[in-house]
Amino acid sequence: MTTFDLASATNHLLYTGIIISPVKVVKARGTYLTDDEGRQILDFTSGQRSSLLGHSHPEIVDVVKTQIETVDHLHSTMITEPVADLVLRLARLLPSPLEKTLLLNTGSESVEAGIKLAKAYTGKFEVIALTASYHGQTGAASSATFSKYRNTGLPCMPGQLAFPAPYAYGSPFQRDGKYDWEAEFDYGWSLLDRQSVGSLAAFVIEPILSGGGILELPGGYLTRLSAECKKRGIVLIVDEAQTGVGRTGKMFAFQEEEGFVPDILLLSKTLGCGVPLAALVTSAEIEKGCRNSVFYWNTTHQNDPLTAAVGNKTLEIVERDGLCQNSAERGAQLTQGLRQLQGKYGGWIGDVRGRGLLQGLELVTKPGAAITAKDLGHAVVEKSLAGGLSCSVVPSPAQGSVIRLVPPITVSAQEIDQALQILDQSLAAVLVQ
């Protein structure tokens, strides 16, 4: 089995705030990783939540081989068949008036383009995002990220405003023992309307806030948000980096809310199935409004044929193989298993949430406890990895610790059961002392 010196390599990697995994992965196929000792590990992170169809899907491999031998990269003004196929497929899959597509590389780049487009269209500069949001690491994207990484001491883009993220489990907005998201929603707008200098350009939002702790928007939230944005002339941007292309049980998560259509839709991670591809899709009206403005975008790998071919094949496979349905069914199985663990481990698991194959369980501890929820979460993740399951931990808005489970949407019932068994063993080892 091929191996490498992880310690030496790590010594030459720039520290970026993340901890390098001790596992030396030498192969990845389907839902499994293989380490240098031949041990198989279930990948319930889907790489960086991007390997939608599992690792090295044979049809994706074939497309990459064929395309790189045909046309790999061109000037971005030159349109190839893969680019044409992808934009036409997106136009068919998406509801009117979403019909104009810009093909990019990463989620951060798509957010940058979306915000710049909204500013050009409106002639305004203020941008709103949720307090548990995660939209990327570049300028405008990091400014619209409130879940973490804001305490760097560096200035953000001017005009950035925060809106309270819906958090049913830990919200102070309760009425008759139930989460009153509409009261919180109205309160958020009252704050925004007082803070704004009258130049509101965009509201950028995720249908499920993954980096914020798997927070799902309540039913009706996007429709109400759209109405409030229209009142104020705000462009509503829906960022489906992690929720798009079948992960939640729908082709696009915003379709869960009947009749709702965003002004701008952003796709990235899942669209590329492991290669760097992103897309911004908007209406002809917004495009027309920007033609006479200062909007300009031209990057090195814009409209790349290689990545476009992968994106087109990914959408084809998801449609053809009924993988939205698989997400819904395996997601229901995962939810049931996580709720059983919640019952088994009493007050340690405060909440189970998410949809389809983007789910999490929140670990909690009592105030003043000897161990924090954050430490518990990291301990469970470490035990799980040792037991053959790769998952991740993210902080929740209440400073709990959310174990995030995001398997490929090709995952089988047997693999879900196996993951739940490993997670059960890990929770027992950490929580039952």
Residue pLDDT, tens place only, 300-328: 999 999 999 999 999 999 999 999 999 99
In this structure, the answer to whether residues 228 and 110 fall within a common structural domain is yes
> What phi and psi values does residue 65 have, to the nearest 5 degrees?
-60, -50
The answer on pLDDT for 367 being more than 70 is: no
- Rounded distance between C-alpha atoms, residue 395 and residue 25, angstroms: 26
**Residue 66 forms part of a structural domain:** no
In this structure, the answer to whether residues 313 and 341 fall within a common structural domain is no
Query: pLDDT (tens digit, 9 = 90+) per residue, 171-188?
Result: 889 888 899 999 999 999
Inter-CA distances, 125 with 104, 153, 287, Å: 23, 22, 18
For residue 28, the cross-strand partners are 33
Average pLDDT value for residue range 154-170: 89
In this structure, the answer to whether residues 81 and 195 fall within a common structural domain is yes
In this structure, the answer to whether residues 236 and 328 fall within a common structural domain is no
Average pLDDT value for residue range 111-139: 94
Of 279, 304, 320, the last residue of a domain is: 320
**Residue 332 forms part of a structural domain:** yes
**Residue 404 forms part of a structural domain:** yes
pLDDT given at position 368: 60
**Residue 293 forms part of a structural domain:** yes
Of 320, 346, 369, the last residue of a domain is: 320
Identify the domain containing residue 144 by its residue range. Answer: 71-320
Cβ neighbors of 363 (< 8 A, separation 6 or more) are: 348, 349, 350, 373, 376, 377, 380, 400, 401, 402, 403
CATH code: domain of residue 28: 3.90.1150.10
Q: How confident is the model at residue 166 (pLDDT cuts 50, 70, 90)?
A: very high
The answer on pLDDT for 1 being more than 60 is: no
Number of neighbours of residue 4 by Cβ within 10 angstroms: 10
In this structure, the answer to whether residues 27 and 147 fall within a common structural domain is no
Task: Please give the share of the chain, as a percent, with pLDDT higher than 70.
Answer: 97
The answer on pLDDT for 398 being more than 70 is: no
In this structure, the answer to whether residues 277 and 418 fall within a common structural domain is no
pLDDT given at position 432: 72
Q: Which residue has the tokens 């044979």?
A: 58
**Residue 374 forms part of a structural domain:** yes
**Residue 25 forms part of a structural domain:** yes
> What phi and psi values does residue 74 have, to the nearest 5 degrees?
-140, 175
In this structure, the answer to whether residues 161 and 289 fall within a common structural domain is yes
Of 262, 286, 320, the last residue of a domain is: 320
Asked if the peptide bond before residue 395 counts as cis, ω within 30 degrees of 0, the response is: no
**Residue 191 forms part of a structural domain:** yes
Which element (helix H / strand E) includes 28?
strand 25-29
> What phi and psi values does residue 181 have, to the nearest 5 degrees?
-65, -30
Specify the number of domains making up the chain.
Answer: 2
- Determine what percent of the chain falls in helix, strand and coil, rounding each to the nearest 5: 40, 20, 40
Longest dimension (CA), the chain: 66
Instruction: Tell me, rounded to whole angstroms, the distance of Cα 101 from its chain centroid.
Output: 20
The answer on pLDDT for 16 being more than 90 is: no
In this structure, the answer to whether residues 332 and 307 fall within a common structural domain is no
For residue 359, the cross-strand partners are 354, 405
In this structure, the answer to whether residues 283 and 166 fall within a common structural domain is yes
Tokens of 400: 């709990």
- Rounded distance between C-alpha atoms, residue 134 and residue 139, angstroms: 13
**Residue 62 forms part of a structural domain:** no
CATH code: domain of residue 207: 3.40.640.10
Q: 412: buried, middle or exposed (CB in 10 Å: 19+, 13-18, 0-12)?
A: middle
pLDDT given at position 93: 97
Question: Residues 258, 220: contact at Cβ < 8 Å?
Answer: no
pTM for the structure as a whole: 0.95
